[in-house]
Amino acid sequence: MDIDIILLGSFERWMKTLEFAPSTVYGSVRYVNDFFFYLKTVEQVSPEQIQTGTISRYLDYLNGRSKKNGPGALSQNYITSNINAIKRFSRYLEQTGRPSFEVSVKTIQEKHPLKTLITPDEIHALYKACDNESMLGIRDKAILGVYYGCGLRRSEGIALNVKDILLREKLILVRAGKGYRERYVPMTEGVRDDLEHYILVARERIQSFKKTKNEALFLSMQVKRMCGNAIIDRLQHLCQEAKLGKMIGLHCLRHSIATHLLQGGLTLEEVSHFLGHSSLESTQIYTHLSNEQETRV
Whether residues 128 and 260 share a domain: the answer is: yes
Whether residues 142 and 13 share a domain: the answer is: no
Whether residues 52 and 183 share a domain: the answer is: no
Q: Is residue 109 part of a domain?
A: no
Q: Is residue 226 part of a domain?
A: yes
Q: Which residues of 110-130 are buried (b: 16+ CB within 10 A; e: fewer)?
A: eeeeebebbebebbebbbebb
Does the annotation count 168 as an active-site position?
A: no
Whether residues 168 and 239 share a domain: the answer is: yes
Count of Cβ atoms closer than 10 Å to residue 46 Cβ: 13
The CATH number given to whatever domain includes residue 257 is 1.10.443.10
For helices 76-95 and 250-263, the axis angle rounded to 10 degrees is 50
pTM (two decimals): 0.64
Catalytic member of 170, 192, 277, 296: 277
Q: Is residue 100 part of a domain?
A: no
Q: Confidence class of residue 277 from pLDDT cuts 50, 70 and 90?
A: low
* Cα–Cα distance measured from residue 211 to residue 169, given in angstroms and rounded to the nearest whole number: 30
Cβ(288)–Cβ(265) below 8 Å: yes
Does the annotation count 254 as an active-site position?
A: yes
Catalytic member of 16, 181, 225, 286: 286
Whether residues 203 and 275 share a domain: the answer is: yes
Q: Please report the pLDDT score of residue 59 as a whole number.
A: 84
Q: Please report the pLDDT score of residue 107 as a whole number.
A: 39
Cβ(172)–Cβ(165) below 8 Å: yes
Q: Is residue 126 part of a domain?
A: yes
Mean pLDDT of 271-297: 45
Residues 119-136: pLDDT tens digits?
999 999 999 999 999 999
Mean pLDDT of 242-267: 86
The CATH number given to whatever domain includes residue 16 is 1.10.150.130
Q: Please report the pLDDT score of residue 280 as a whole number.
A: 34
Q: Confidence class of residue 108 from pLDDT cuts 50, 70 and 90?
A: very low
Whether residues 134 and 274 share a domain: the answer is: yes
Count of Cβ atoms closer than 10 Å to residue 259 Cβ: 20
Q: Please report the pLDDT score of residue 177 as a whole number.
A: 59
Q: Is residue 101 part of a domain?
A: no
* Cα–Cα distance measured from residue 250 to residue 19, given in angstroms and rounded to the nearest whole number: 14
Q: Please report the pLDDT score of residue 194 as a whole number.
A: 97
| β-strands 171-174, 183-186 pairing | antiparallel
Does the annotation count 68 as an active-site position?
A: no
Q: What is the domain range of residue 268?
A: 120-293
Whether residues 33 and 158 share a domain: the answer is: no
Q: Please report the pLDDT score of residue 281 as a whole number.
A: 32
Q: Which of 112-126, 136-150, 166-180, 269-283 comes out lowest in average pLDDT?
A: 269-283
Catalytic member of 139, 141, 234, 254: 254
Closest CA to 274 of 143, 210, 186, 175: 186
Residues 71-95: pLDDT tens digits?
566 776 788 888 889 989 988 988 8
Contacts of 246 (CB under 8 A, 6+ apart): 116, 239
Question: Which residues does residue 172 pair with via DSSP β-bridges, in sequence order?
Answer: 165, 185
* Cα–Cα distance measured from residue 63 to residue 176, given in angstroms and rounded to the nearest whole number: 48
Which amino acid, one-letter code, is at 226? M
Q: Is residue 110 part of a domain?
A: no
Cβ(71)–Cβ(28) below 8 Å: no
Whether residues 234 and 140 share a domain: the answer is: yes
Count of Cβ atoms closer than 10 Å to residue 255 Cβ: 22
Whether residues 140 and 76 share a domain: the answer is: no
Sheet holding 165-166, edge to edge: 165-166, 171-174, 183-186
Question: In the chain, what are the helix, strand and coil shares in percent, each to the nearest 5?
Answer: 60, 5, 35
Whether residues 27 and 72 share a domain: the answer is: yes
Q: Please report the pLDDT score of residue 287 as a whole number.
A: 28
The 3-state DSSP class for residue 3 equals helix
Q: Is residue 173 part of a domain?
A: yes
Q: Is residue 209 part of a domain?
A: yes
Whether residues 163 and 259 share a domain: the answer is: yes
Domain boundary, last residue among 37, 60, 95: 95
Mean pLDDT of 239-249: 88
Q: Which residues of 52-86 are buried (b: 16+ CB within 10 A; e: fewer)?
A: eebbeebbeebeeeeeeeeeeebeeeebbbbbbbb
Residue 10 scores a pLDDT above 60: yes
Residue 69 scores a pLDDT above 70: no
- CA end-to-end span of the chain, whole Å? 46
Domain boundary, last residue among 95, 112, 128: 95
pLDDT higher at 111 or 206: 206
Does the annotation count 251 as an active-site position?
A: yes
Q: Please report the pLDDT score of residue 176 as a whole number.
A: 67
Domain boundary, last residue among 95, 112, 143: 95
Catalytic member of 178, 181, 225, 288: 178
Whether residues 143 and 282 share a domain: the answer is: yes
Mean pLDDT of the chain: 82
Number of domains forming the structure of the chain: 2
Catalytic member of 13, 88, 139, 153: 153
Mean pLDDT of 26-44: 87
